């Protein structure tokens, strides 16, 4: 890649949050601990639908996801915890050990006199946001071809950005203490099940839910559960035996998916009868949990103490799932419903979120949901793979949890708490907010809040000093942009709003994030007896019936990602 984005190194005003000094040792043992976490999997790990995305644009990795929140909690307990989010929206089980060509972005045009000039222009301006992909990136394909359109000064070429990224497990090695994981949803057809069981009708884009297609999809997915999860079992076994070889206590934690519908009937025509789509999808979700438990029990026999299953997610989300109706929302939802993103607690006592026309946001945990999952993870037993930090290297080890992507004028939290001293503890953190070689602020704590007033495409640096006076410096990628994504404005189909996927559901060349979905002519699925309501009605979920003490016998894994 030649001449990627130019650097704007601009000194900005800072908001410094001076938090209490870091705890020098694990509070339960008094012993210094370190923990290296790598997060793998699909969109339910990456962070679809909660904003603040970084890394390869189509992966939709968010700094607000439950893994980041868990790592922050671990650091607050005095465990020096580094965290890498390598999960990717749409990820499959096979992507764990294989490179993956990510989905193409919608076609756009670039003016140039030749195809070579067009390719050079796209490279030099980083039109495909390759720089943000960092060390995940293997290659960029522009899929260039001459278009029919002509300009007064040059030919036009159509291009479709497509990144190929490394296998997720390339980032797992002997140094890895803990792998966090959600996997299997996309093998089960997450996108198709949501569209066929709950989807609205959008002219030219979505046919809408259909009882027959929903029933057949649920049945096929149910039948494929054992084989699919046996494949996941094999991949977890490979992780432990081939990659996580440096710490005999290292561990893989598999997280269950929440159920994808409230426990209320949602009947759709199915030939001469009707099919309860909500019940079918909930049963599928419960079946998946049961099969996940099976493979983890089998792995525990092979690798005692090395695997763990967080199966309480569905129960924790009980009453907070999406309402299956298109034009009615669960007021207390912890999963984004159709046409919304980044749902969180609002002033009305319920959940509200910005409008979103990006389908990759829908039916994924919202901000409140990720916090709830992180709370499930905040168990000291999930830190048992931490290592004793008793070795004394010649110099500290500086760690900065990046990459960082932010929007002009918004606060960005920078975190270096995973840094390790050579003696005693880290006493000073010096911050070079824009990577220009000058340290702009000094704190006694390892994280700081900074406000960037102008665009930057560069690096943020931190220098740490321990009690012996030894120092170490590290940096992380930094992009501050007008809209909060890393697509250059001149190539962005919606430069006013963050839309790293460049979704364009109706194919009109304008990003879905810049459109009003209410103008799409959305209607309810045929035969559902729903009436269109704008905005969707908000209802409280009905109280759940008592749940039997054991899981029902059948069901499947909700899928994740697009």
What secondary structure does DSSP assign to 186-208, as a single string?
GGGTHHHHHHHHHPPBBTTTB--
User: Has residue 23 got a pLDDT over 50?
Assistant: no
Q: Provide, rounded to the nearest whole percent, the portion of the chain with pLDDT above 70.
A: 89
Q: Is 552 helix (H, G, I), strand (E, B) or coil?
A: coil
Q: Residues 292-299: what's their mean pLDDT?
A: 99
Q: What is the largest CA-CA distance in the chain?
A: 79
Pairing of strands 471-481, 404-407: parallel
- Which of 43-57, 72-86, 480-494, 539-553 has the least mean pLDDT? 539-553
Which whole-number Å values give the CA distances from 447 to 34, 155, 257, in the listed order? 17, 50, 31
pLDDT band at 231 (very low <50, low <70, confident <90, very high): very high
pTM given for the model: 0.90
> Closest Cα to residue 448, out of 459, 457, 458, 460?
460
Q: Please give the average per-residue pLDDT across 468-472, as a whole number.
A: 95
- The mean per-residue pLDDT over the stretch 271-293 comes to 97
Res. 5: pLDDT tops 70: no
* Sequence-distant (≥ 6) Cβ neighbours of residue 505 within 8 angstroms: 202, 205, 357, 359, 512, 520
Is the Cβ–Cβ distance between 165 and 71 less than 8 Å? no
E strands in 295-440:
307-310, 328-330, 344-345, 351-352, 387-388, 404-407, 411-415, 426-432
What rounded mean pLDDT belongs to the chain?
89
Q: Is the pLDDT of residue 283 over 60?
A: yes
Q: Which residues pair with 182 in a beta bridge?
A: 41
Alpha helices in 174-276 (DSSP H): 190-198, 211-238
Min mean pLDDT across 6-10, 128-132, 507-511 is at 6-10
> How would DSSP label each residue in 16-85?
---PPPPPSS-TTTSS-EEEEEEEEESHHHHTTTS--EESSGGG-EETTSHHHHHHHHHHHTTEEEEEEE
Enumerate the active-site residues. 43, 364
CA triplet 336, 263, 534: central angle to 5 degrees? Answer: 45
- Which token pair is 302? 């092979």
């Amino acid at each position: 890649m030649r001449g990627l984005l130019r650097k704007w190194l601009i000194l900005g005003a800072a908001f410094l949050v001076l938090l209490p000094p870091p705890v020098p040792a694990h509070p339960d043992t008094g012993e210094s601990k370190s923990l290296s976490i790598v997060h793998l999997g699909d969109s339910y790990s990456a962070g679809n639908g909660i904003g603040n995305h970084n890394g390869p644009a189509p992966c939709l990795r968010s700094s607000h996801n439950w893994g980041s929140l868990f790592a922050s909690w671990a650091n607050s307990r005095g465990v020096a915890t580094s965290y890498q989010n390598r999960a990717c929206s749409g990820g499959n089980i096979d992507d764990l050990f294989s490179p993956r060509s990510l989905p193409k972005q919608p076609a756009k045009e670039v003016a140039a006199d030749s195809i070579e000039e067009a390719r050079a222009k796209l490279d030099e301006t980083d039109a495909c946001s390759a720089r943000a992909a960092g060390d995940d990136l293997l290659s960029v394909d522009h899929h260039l071809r001459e278009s029919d359109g002509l300009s007064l000064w040059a030919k036009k070429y159509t291009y479709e950005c497509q990144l190929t990224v490394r296998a997720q497990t390339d980032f797992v090695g002997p140094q890895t203490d803990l792998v966090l994981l959600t996997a299997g949803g996309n093998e089960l057809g997450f996108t198709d099940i949501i569209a066929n069981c709950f989807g609205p009708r959008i002219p030219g884009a979505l046919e809408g839910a259909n009882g027959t297609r929903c029933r057949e999809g649920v049945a096929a997915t149910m039948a494929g559960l054992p084989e699919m999860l046996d494949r996941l079992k094999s991949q977890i076994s490979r992780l432990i035996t081939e990659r996580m070889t440096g710490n005999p206590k290292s561990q893989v934690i598999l997280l269950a998916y929440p159920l994808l519908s409230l426990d209320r009937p949602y009947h759709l025509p199915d030939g001469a009868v009707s099919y309860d789509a909500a019940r079918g999808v909930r049963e599928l979700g419960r079946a998946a949990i049961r099969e996940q438990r099976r493979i983890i029990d089998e792995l525990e026999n092979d690798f005692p103490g090395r695997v763990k299953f967080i199966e309480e997610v569905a129960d924790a989300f009980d009453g907070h799932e999406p309402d299956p109706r298109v034009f009615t929302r669960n007021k207390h939802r912890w999963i984004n419903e159709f046409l919304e993103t980044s749902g969180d607690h609002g002033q009305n006592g319920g959940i509200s979120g910005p409008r979103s026309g990006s389908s990759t946001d829908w039916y994924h945990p919202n901000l409140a949901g990720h916090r709830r999952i992180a709370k499930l993870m905040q168990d000291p037993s999930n830190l048992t793979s931490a290592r004793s930090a008793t070795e004394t290297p010649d110099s500290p080890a500086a760690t900065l949890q990046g990459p960082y992507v932010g929007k002009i004028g918004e606060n960005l939290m920078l975190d270096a708490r995973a840094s390790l001293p050579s003696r005693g503890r880290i006493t000073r953190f010096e911050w070079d907010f824009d990577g220009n070689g000058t340290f702009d602020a000094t704190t006694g704590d390892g994280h700081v809040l900074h406000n960037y007033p102008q665009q930057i495409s560069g690096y943020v640096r931190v220098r740490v000093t321990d009690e012996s006076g030894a120092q170490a410096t590290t940096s992380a990628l930094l992009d501050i942009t007008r809209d909060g994504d890393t697509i250059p404005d001149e190539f962005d189909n919606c430069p006013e709003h963050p839309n790293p996927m460049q979704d364009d559901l109706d194919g009109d060349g304008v990003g879905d994030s810049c459109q009003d979905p209410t103008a799409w002519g959305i209607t309810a699925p045929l035969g559902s007896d729903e009436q269109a309501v704008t905005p969707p009605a908000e209802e409280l979920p009905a109280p759940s019936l008592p749940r039997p003490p054991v899981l029902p016998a059948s069901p499947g894994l909700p899928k994740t990602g697009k």
